[in-house]
Structure 1
Amino acid sequence: MTATPGQPYSPSVPGAPRPARRALRGVRDTLTLMGLPLVVALALPAAFAGGGTRRWFGGRAESQRAEAQAAKDAAASAFYELDTAQRDLRISIETITAVDGSPAARRAVADFEALGRRIDEVSQQYINTVDAHDLDRDDLEASAAVRARTELTRAKDELDRVKRELDRFTDGLGPLLGKAETQLARLAPAVERARQALLAASNALDGARAAGLRADDLAARLAALGPELTRLNQGAGQHGVAGTLERAERVCREAEAIRAEAGRLPEKAAEIDHRLVSLRTRAQALTTRAEQVDPVLSELRRRFTAACWQDLQGVPEQAAQNVRQAEAKLTEAQAAREAQRWPEATALLSTARALLNTTDEAVSAAGDRLTRLNAVQKDPKQEIERTRFALRDAQRLAMSGRTTPDPRDARPLDEAVARLERAIGTLEGRHPDYWHFLTETEAVRRSAAQVVSRIREERGAGH
């Protein structure tokens, strides 16, 4: 039961007798013009079929003729219902195949084709049966009418049976069809969102250009989406539903990113301008601070041993060099900003900032060194007590809830205590190395802190 797309279905099949096919087509075409369904045609009085008036004979023959005609009408109705159901199912199958390429969908198509062959088989049997019995004959015998009724009833039963198979198959397609219809329902909104996103990105670029920002890289990215829009406009019929959905979502994401970046361009330009001014000011301040390192080093050399200041000797020269490099990067960043090469300008600013951070730390280290050395030279007891407190705190925690300490805690703490005593002993000479003393006390406090951290982690896990 197949039809050429766009053409009405004809119940005729190859091999069927020509008179019956012409009669069925004639009735169908006439009633199509009248707006009546095929089943009505098959129920019309037989007098319309031949154009004349048939002679009617009473008795048993006419009763059998009427029963045969009723069987013929019932078979025609079953044939029409099966044809309608097959057409509806074909639409469902086409919906599934347009969206779903899964094994389950391919099996459904194969099963539908097999069912279609069975439908064609019983339909041909029905048409052959109709052609084989002319119920309008004047001389129709009762036995012929009975035989016609029996065969037409059998044909109807076969049509009904296949219709039930078709209905069961249709019911089983529910999940596949629901999934396909859901994707089809997503298709039009997804394509429209992509179009609107592209329009918004274009408008955002226009706004950036109006503010004097070229945004050439964003314009190139937007232009690259042009072919994708063309494919979206060509539709799912050419590129498939799944492919069109994926393309629409990708275009929407990229267009939205372009729109967002274009919208941030004025803010980005202002931020770069602010960073340029801020980093130039910081470079000037560091130049002034670096000039103060030499007097600090001079005092360190005069009052403390070489070990306390030797590692700071290169700070003034390194600071000056770093500041010069940072200023050169700022000049390059300014040029990149004017050319609106935003990524390059941002990278150059980051490099300049890193150079200035390094310089700031080195310059600060010289001043901090002098401050700490002055404090420990004046009163080393404060540093000693601070370190001993850290050790005692760790020892108390190690002994909490225990009669003897864990060797993993006792060993590093005993070593730290001995290390502190040795560091205190270095202060007894004529020229104490205060910087060595400070680095040793810091190391002792770190060891105590590591023991405390491990104990708390283990007890926390046990709890």
Structure 2
Amino acid sequence: MAVALPLLVGALLPQAFAGGGTRRWFGGRGEGQRAEAQAAKDAAAAAFYELDTAQRGLRISIETITAVDSSPEARRAVEGFEALGRRIDEVSHLYIGAVDAHDLDRDELDAGSASRARADLNRAKEELDRVKGELDRFEEGLAPLLGRAETQLAQLAPAVERARQALRGASGALDVVREGGLRADDLAARLASLGPELTRLNEGAGRHGVAETLQRADRVLRDAEAVRAEAERLPERAAETDKRLVSLRTRTEALTTRAGGVEPVLSELRRRYSAACWQDLQHVPEQAVVTLRQAGERLAEAGKARAEQRWPDATSLLSTARALLDSTDEAVSAAGERLRRLDAVAKDPKAEIDRTRFAVRDAQRLAMAGRNTPDPRHARPLDDAVGRLDRAVDGLEGRHPDYWHFLTELEAVRAAAARVVALIREERGSGVGH
């Protein structure tokens, strides 16, 4: 040993000085330990970088979700991300501590220090990998939330642009209408009311939120499209209003002429038939005068509203005038129709009786079809109808028969028979009673 040591030192000295520095050991197991420690350091650095990159990406996903979604599920996702962030901080500090604790480039690094460095760095990498796995699993669980958020964000810009285009379209349609001499003041006011909404759209989702901005864009689009559609239809609406005014004025004149013929018809009814046949009509001439005057007033008001381009008012007034004319027409027609029907039945009551008996017998045959005895629910109203018919026929005997009562009774009998027929068909169609 006393001989060997000086030889080893002598052999190492030229190499130690040749590089301008000194190391305690070279080659062999010591250099292998240093290399393994360096490899562990590189692997830990790669794991740290991967975790940091993944955390940054996940933060973007969370920000995407929170920009759109304020649901409890989204809030839980934020809380989960924050908890993950705390664990990431812990393992990052462990890694940084391991790197700072071991200088693998120093010349005096011995095998034991290299081994400890490798162990600490391997442990740090394992923790980094473990938390990275947690982060990956957490990110997988966010997929549904993130998908919905990204879908909404993808819809945002097109939705806002569609709203802007709709506003431009509505404004253009109004310009065209005005050039044609129509003011469209109400439509212009509705369009102006959308101005503040456009301002909020321009301020963006960053200020008002994605969900609210999408809803606002949809609302602006819908309202602007409604204004545009009404503006485009306005010339047609004006023409329709003018046409209805002319038509209803003409109808008023015609009804005024026809109403003048009601009194002679009533005189004929009074002369030839009992009071019961015409009493409900005796006020028709006076009522016609009143309703025709009211219709004329409404038409004058509608004409004024049209001149002032108050379209909703004009439409409402025209509808009122039409309803008044309809009621007048019905009343005026009723007198002439009453005389016609009374003349027909007075001349030949048998035709009305035969028509009614046929309706009742047809219902009776249907009620007995496939049965030995009729269902009381069908037989009772039909029996009542027969009795009512017989009484109406008997009422024709006498000096001044009430033909109008006779006609209305027979109408009621036919209606009762029709109800029974409808009931039977409904029951057989659904299988009831079989």
- CA offset at residue 197 of structure 1? 0.8
Deviation at 1:328, TM superposition (A): 0.6
The residue type paired with residue 168 of structure 2 is: L
How big is the shift at 1:86?
A: 1.0
Q: Distance in 1 between matches of 2:309 and 2:373?
A: 70
Is it true that 1:171 corresponds to 2:140 in the alignment? Answer: yes
Whether 1:380 aligns to 2:354 is no
Match of 2:32 in 1: 63
| Amino acid corresponding to residue 126 of structure 1 in structure 2 | Y
How far apart in 2 are the matches of 1:188 and 1:112? 28
Amino acid at match of 1:383: E
Aligned equivalents of 2:360, 2:128: Cα separation in 1: 97
Gaps of 5+ in 2: 1-18
Query: What's the CA shift for 1:380?
Result: 1.2
Residue 12 of structure 2 is matched in structure 1 by none
Alignment match of 1:427 (pick from 370, 378, 396) = 396
> Where do 1:25-424 residues align within 5 Å?
55=22, 57-59=25-27, 60-424=29-393
Cα deviation for residue 223 of structure 1 reads 0.9
Runs of 4+ residues deviating >6 angstroms: none
Aligned length: 412
Calculate percent identity across the aligned residue pairs: 75
**Cα distance change of structure 1 residues 427 and 53 upon mapping to structure 2, 3 Å threshold:** farther
Give the alignment's TM-score, normalised by structure 2.
0.92
Provide Cα deviations, 1:119-154, integer angstroms capped at 9, x if missing partner.
111111111111111222222222212221221122
Tell me the TM-score normalised to structure 1 length: 0.86
Partner-residue secondary structure (3-state), 2:404: helix
Distance 1:256 1:53, change over 3 A: farther
Task: Return the offset for 1:393.
Answer: 0.9
Letter of the 2:88 partner, please give it.
I
Report the alpha carbon displacement of residue 411 of structure 1 after superposing the two structures with TM. 2.0
Distance 1:432 1:258 in 2: 64
Question: Hey, what's the Cα distance between the residues in 1 that align with 2:142 and 2:161?
Answer: 29
The aligned amino acid for 2:26 is G
For 1:285 and 1:144, the matched residues in 2 are separated by 118
- Report the Cα distance in structure 2 between the residues aligned to 1:402 and 1:215, rounded to whole angstroms: 70
Distance 1:398 1:168 in 2: 74
- The Cα of 1:105 is off from its aligned counterpart by 1.5
**Residue 54 of structure 1: CA displacement?**
6.1
How far apart in 1 are the matches of 2:389 and 2:319?
A: 42
Measure the CA separation in 1 of the matches of 2:217 and 2:361: 67
Structure 1: unaligned runs, 5 residues or longer: 1-51
Q: Spell out, residue by residue over 1:409-450, the C-alpha distance to the aligned partner (whole angstroms, 9 max, x if none).
A: 222222222222222222221222211211221122122112
The AA in structure 1 aligned to 2:186 is D
Work out the CA distance in 2 between the residues paired with 1:407 and 1:390.
19
> Using the alignment, how far apart are the partners of 2:386 and 2:409 within structure 1?
11
| Deviation per residue, 1:318-350 (Å, 9 max, x gap) | 112111110110000000011111111111001
Q: What is the root-mean-square deviation of aligned Cα atoms in Å?
A: 1.6
Distance 1:254 1:136, change over 3 A: same
Which amino acid letter does the alignment assign opposite residue 118 of structure 2? R
Task: Tell me the secondary structure at the aligned position of residue 326 of structure 2.
Answer: helix
Per the alignment, residue 15 of structure 1 pairs with none
Paired residue secondary structure (1:427): coil
Q: What is the CA deviation profile of residues 244-269 of structure 1, one whole-angstrom value per residue up to 9, with x for unaligned ones?
A: 11111111111111111111111111
Q: Secondary structure at the match of 2:395?
A: helix
Q: Write the distance in 2 (CA, Å) between the matches of 1:143 and 1:392.
A: 119
Q: Give CA deviations for 1:345-371 in whole Å, capped at 9, x if unaligned.
A: 111001100000000001100000111
**Secondary structure, counterpart of 1:431 in structure 2:** coil
Aligned match of 1:439 in 367, 390, 408?
Answer: 408
